[in-house]
Amino acid sequence: MSTVSRRFYRPSTFLIAGALAVGLLGAAMPAQATAEVPATTIPPAVVTIAATPAATKVSLVAALTPAQVATVRAAALRAAAARAAAVRAAAIRATAARALRARTTAVRLASSKIGSRYVAGRAGPTKFDCSGLTQFVVRHATGRLLPHYSRTQWRATARVARKNLRPGDLVFFFGRGAHHVGIYIGNGRMVSASNPRAGVKIELVFSGWYGSRYSGAGRLI
């Protein structure tokens, strides 16, 4: 009578400590960390372990060698890092999307005021001076209230190089005093409440009358 040899296998490396590690690491993840993680970044066995009852996990751990435990923990850490990276990437995309919406709103709103009257000290909705127009546009596009003076708006914004200008940025003129400000709408143009005669209109930023008086740009969005 032939004897059939029996082989005994230890539980899969990813079937034990991984469950514990995944459970522990998963508990430490923030509640909002729900961004999708590519399936290829998480070992299938680690995913399987996540659903293993706690009592089973404990009993399985004893069957692992220290090397296996270390391997599973490393895999769980990689999976947790992948989840965290996915959350960060999702947050960056959401921030960029909000900024794009705000910029689009700023350009649309500024353009809708073309033809409005220039009145010193006014900030809309139908009459504006230069800083009143930018204050009105920024408030409705972003919810942020800028001071109603071009010089203080200059100080309240982050400097932006000419080559990095984006629609929705503020553009300033007349040297350090920043005595005039407009909303940049792209292609070297701005919407500006220029003076009582011209009212709110589109002007060239880098050529014409304003070109030689350009001071710099500021960003809020």
Identify the top-confidence range among 32-46, 85-99, 129-143: 129-143
To the nearest whole percent, how much of the chain has pLDDT over 70?
71
CA gap 180, 173 in Å, rounded:
5
- Whether residue 122 sits in one domain with residue 206: yes
Is 134 in the same domain as 190?
yes
Residue range of the domain that includes 52: 13-96
Q: Is the pLDDT of residue 84 over 50?
A: yes
Mean pLDDT of 116-130: 97
Q: How much of the chain exceeds pLDDT 90, in percent?
A: 62
| Beta carbons of 94 and 178 less than 8 angstroms apart | no
CATH number (domain holding residue 164): 3.90.1720.10
pTM assigned to the model: 0.65
| pLDDT given at position 106 | 97
Of the three residues 70, 96, 122, the one that is the final residue of a domain is 96
Query: Which DSSP letter does residue 93 get?
Result: H
* Residues counted in the chain: 221
Are 151 and 176 within one domain? yes
Residue 147 and residue 209 in one domain = yes
Compute CA distances 210 → 31, 174, 180, whole Å. Answer: 51, 9, 10
Q: Is the pLDDT assigned to residue 2 strictly greater than 90?
A: no
39-82 pLDDT tens trace = 444 455 544 555 556 656 566 666 778 888 888 889 999 999 99
- pLDDT above 80 (res 13): no
Of 152, 133, 149, 130, the residue nearest 141 (C-alpha): 133
- Using the 8-state DSSP alphabet, how is residue 161 labeled? -
Q: Quick one: average pLDDT of 96-101?
A: 90
Cα separation, 99 vs 102, in Å, equals: 5
Of 219, 119, 88, 123, residue with least CA distance to 166: 219
pLDDT of 27 over the 90 cut: no
Q: What's the first-to-final CA gap in the chain, in angstroms?
A: 84
Task: Answer for the pair 76, 47: CB distance below 8 angstroms, yes or no.
Answer: no
Say yes or no: 121 and 210 in one domain. yes
Question: Within a domain: residue 5?
Answer: no
Whole-number pLDDT of residue 180: 96
- Do residues 132 and 77 both lie within one domain? no
In a domain, 106, yes or no: no
In this structure, the answer to whether residues 166 and 211 fall within a common structural domain is yes
Residue 178 has pLDDT above 90, yes or no: no
In a domain, 4, yes or no: no
Domain count, the chain: 2
Write a three-state SS string for 174-194: CHHHCCEEEEEEECCEEEEEC
Residues 199 and 128 in one domain: yes
Per the model's pLDDT, the better-predicted residue between 4 and 115 turns out to be 115
Q: Is position 90 within any domain?
A: yes
pLDDT of residue 115: 97
Give me the mean pLDDT over the 161-180 stretch: 91
Select from 33, 67, 96 the last residue of a domain. Answer: 96
Judge whether 157 lies within some domain.
Answer: yes
pLDDT for the residue numbered 56: 63
What is 95-141 written as a DSSP string? HHHHHHHHHHHHHHHHHHTTTPEE-TT-B-SSEE-HHHHHHHHHHHH
Q: Are residues 120 and 163 in the same domain?
A: yes
One-letter amino acid of 30 = P
Q: Which among 46, 71, 96 is the end of a domain?
A: 96
Does residue 53 have a cis peptide bond before it, meaning omega lies within 30 degrees of 0?
Answer: no
Higher pLDDT residue, 37 or 102? 102
